[in-house]
Structure 1
Amino acid sequence: MRDLVQHDITGKTNNMQMKKTLLLLSAIIAIFGSSSGQSYEYDCVINFESNPCWGIYKIDTSYSMSNWHICKPNKQTFESAFSAPLAILTDSTGPYRVNDTSSFTVQLTDHFQCWCMPMIGAFYKMESDSLTDFGMIELSTDNGLSWNNILSNDIIPDGFWLTPKPIFTGRISEWTEFFAMLPNVENIDTLLFRFTFISDSVQTGKAGWILDDIKLLIHTEGAPEIVIRNEVSAFPNPANNTIIISHAAFQNGLSISVYNIQGQLLYNHPMQQAKTEIDMSQFENGVYFIRVFGVNTNVVKKIVKR
C-alpha cells in the first residue's frame, strides 16, 4: 500500500470508450470556450503508475485499516488493470473484508486562478452483494468537514452525466466508464473526492471494487458565471424531429444554441417566448448540447436525437 502517493497525469490509451469521452469533452470545451475566450486543460488521468507529478493531485490511502491497495491486480475477477500494470482495488489478492468501511481520497489543489465546472470520471469493475455491499464517491469542498454523494442530483444533476449514471454495487465484469460535470463547484481552493467501499457481516468471497484511470478536468483561467437553473428544461429527450426548450422564468434577452459533439454550432436563435420549439429533422441521430444563455442564465442540456 502507498500512502500519500502523488501521480502524474497521462492520457495514454487507445480505448474506444476514452475516445468517445474525449469527443464529448471537446464539445463542452468548444461550447464554453467559444463564449468566454478561455481554455480548459485536460491532461489528468491518474493511472497509478510511478510517473513524475506536478504536485496538484494526491492519492491518500492512509485511512486507519483501509482495505484499498495500489498494486498489480491478482484476482480471478480483477485479473489486470485498465491501463497496466497498476490500479487501486479492495485487497490485492483476496475477497473484500466483512463489516468494513474502507476509504481513499483524491485531493485536487487549485494552483490556478479559478475552478469552472470541473469534471470527474474513471474506469471501474465491481463484484459485490447487490445493495448490501456497495461503493460510494463523495465530494468535499470544505477540506473534509462535510461530504456529499456525487450520485445525488443536488451534486450532479442528471443532465450532467456524460456517460450513463454509474451503479457501484452488484456485478460489473467489464471495464465501465463514468464521467460527469460538477456544475455547482466554483472558486474552491481544494476539492476532495472520497472513494468508499462498505460491506456487511456476510462473507461472500467476492472481489469488491477496482478503479483505474481516474480522470479530472479543470479550467485554468477566469470563466463566465455558470448558472444552473431547474427552470430550464428540454423535452422530449430522447427526441425525434423536434425538441421544446422551456424556461419557467423566461425574460427577454435569452438565446438558444445547439452544438454537436464536435462542438460545431448548428443552430443559434433568440428565445422569444417561454417555450421554443426547435426543428431537428435535419440533424443526424446522436448526442447534442443545447445551450440557453443570456441575462443571469447560462445552461447546457445534453440531448439525444433518435
Structure 2
Amino acid sequence: MKRIYITICFLAITISMFGQVFLQANNVEAENSVFTKQILTSHTNSSLISVVNIWEEDFSGGFPQGWSTYTSNTQAGFATCPWNWTLDGTWGYWNGNGGTSPSNSINSTTASNGFLISDTDSANHYSYGQPSGTTYQYIESFVTTSAIDLSLHPAVSLEFEHLFRYNNLGNPSFTPPTVYVSSDSVNWTPFLVNGNVSSNSQSPNPKYEIINITSVAGGQSTVYLRFGWVARCYYWMLDDIRIIKTPDNLLVCQDEAIGGWWIGYQGPAGGLGQDYTSYPLTQAIANPYAFEAVLLNNGAATQSATMHAHVSGAGNFSTTSNPLTLAAGEQDTVAATSMFTPTSTGLYNIDIWAEADSAGNGTVYTYTDTATKATIVTDYVYGKDNGTDDGGYWRLNRVAPNPGGLEVSSSYDIYADATLYSLDVHISDWSIPGAEVYVVLYEEDLSGGDPIPLSQSDNYTITQSDLGAWVNIPFVTPQLVTSATKMYRVAVGANIHPTDSVGVDMSDPGSYYSSDGLFDKDAILSNSTNGPRWYTISDIPMLRMNFDPSTIVDVADIQETIFSVFPNPTNGVFTIELDVKTAEYDINVYNVLGQTVLSTVTSSMKTPIDLSSFDKGVYTVELKHRETIYTEKVIVE
C-alpha cells in the first residue's frame, strides 16, 4: 500500500514525482465562499460493543505508585523531560503565551482528575531560552507501568485517550508516539499510535486508541506498558488507560480516501489519485470518485468485513467493497466495486464505514465508526485545501538568517484537458501591503526529476484588502494542461525584499491525501547545501487552479500606477501627484506592520501628506477608486 509521510527529513521522497526531502505551512469569490470547516473528515460512532474492563488507570491519585519515568537528551545536552502528572496543558513557548501559562489541555473523559504529560517544548525552552529555537534538542521520554497480571485473560486489548503534536515526523532522530508492550520488561513490542497526524498539526482532542495486544500480553502474569517518544518540540498527553477483554467482534475502518489513493491511485486516467475538496466537473467525469479504506480486525475472532460508501447532497449514490476475510489482528486495504460520477456541481457528503459478519452466516455483528468527507464539484476551481487556514502558513521571503525567496507548491492530477487561466492564493493576514508575489506552472517529471517550469505570471502587488483573503493571479497567457501529461505542479513565490514579507496560508490535511512541496530557489534553508532544492511539506497550501476564462487579464490594459510621491526619501512631508485626474481617490498609508497610519480622500492633482510625527521607515501609500487599487512606497528618514 502507498502511504505518505510529509515533514522534515533527509530521505528521498517516494510518493511525489520528483526528488526532494521533507519539510514542516467576482466569480472566484463565489466558488470559494462555500468552503467551511465541514470539508474536514468527521467520525461518528456506531459501534455498540459491550466492554469488559480488566485493569484501568485514570490518574485521579496523581502519578501512579510503582510506575517509573525515564528521560535522556539524545544530543548530549542538558534539557530532559520526564513524564509528569498535571492538571494543566503544555507550557511550551510556541503557544503564544510566551511560556507564561498553559494551553491545549487534553479533553479526555477524566481530564479533571489529572493526566500525564511529556512537555518537550517546555523542557527545551526553559533549558535554552529559545522560543522554538534552533538550539532545541531531541529528548527521549518514557513512562512505564508497574507489572499487570493478565494470566487469566487470554485475549486482551489496550485502550487509552491521548493528545499530541510534533514537527519532525520522518527525521531519523525523531520517534513518534509509541506504545511498547512487554511480558518480561526486557523485550518490548512497539505499536505506533500517531496515526496519520502530520507534522505541526495537533491530533484529535482526544485521540482514542484501541490496540489488540493479545500476541504479547494475552495470558501473561507480568505485563508492562511503556509510552514513549523522542521529540524536540510540542507535547504528548495521556489519560484514561485501560486493558479490556478483546471482544470477539471488533472492526476498525481507517485511512478513508475518495480519490483512489490506496489501491487504484493510478485512476482511470493516471496520476496520484489525490483527494480533491473542489473538483471541476470535467475532471470528475473523466476520473470519478473512488472509495477506499484500510480495515483492521481488532477482535479475537476472524471477521468477514465489507466497506460501504454513501454519497448524499447534490447527488445520491451507494456502493460497497467485496467481502474481505481478516484474521484477528490482520488489516488490509479495500476499494468499492463502483465509482461515483457526478452529473452536476454542488456540495457532496461522502460517508464511509464497514460492517463485519464474524460468524460467516450473513448476520452483521459489528459496525465501525462512520467517516464523513465533503467535496464540492465546481465549474472552474480545482483545489485540495479545506477552506480554512488551520495549517499555519509559509513565509515566502525573508532577510535572516539567510536572505532569499521560496515557492510553495501543490501537485494536481489532470484527467481531462483544460485551459488554466489563473491561480487562487490565500494571502496570510500578517503580510505587508506592497509585497509582490507571482505564480508558476510546472510539469511534473514522471521519471523522478525536478518539476519543469512552463509559465510564470507577472508580479502581483499585495494590498491591504488582500490580507487574510483570496486573491486571483492570472498567467500572462492561458496555459493548456493535458491528460497526456498527467500531472502538473502550481506554485506561489516571492523574491527577497528588505521589508516586504509575504506568506501563503496552509490548510491542515486532516485525513485528505495530497502531495505538496516547497522550492528553495535561493538555497536559503540549511539542508540546501548544494544549491536550489525541492522539499515536501505536510500541510496543504491554500493554492487552487482556476479554469475560468474571465479571470485572464489583457496585459495591454494593465496600468502599474497612476501617481508618484516626492520627495522620496522624505523627512515625513511629501506630495502625492496624480498622473491624470480621473476620479476621487481614497488615500490610505500603512506602516510595515500593515497598520493604517493615515486615511484621507483626494480629487486634486497634488495632495500634501505629513508623516513627520510617525517613526522612520518604509510606508505603503495606497490609492483606491472603486475596486481598483494602486500603491507606491515612500521612505521616511
TM above 0.5, yes or no, is: no
Interval of TM-score (by shorter of Structure 1 and Structure 2): 0.3 to 0.5
Provide TM-score, normalisation by structure 1: 0.39
Q: Which structure's relative contact order is higher, taking Cα pairs within 8 Å and 6+ residues apart?
A: 1
* Greater C-alpha Rg: 2
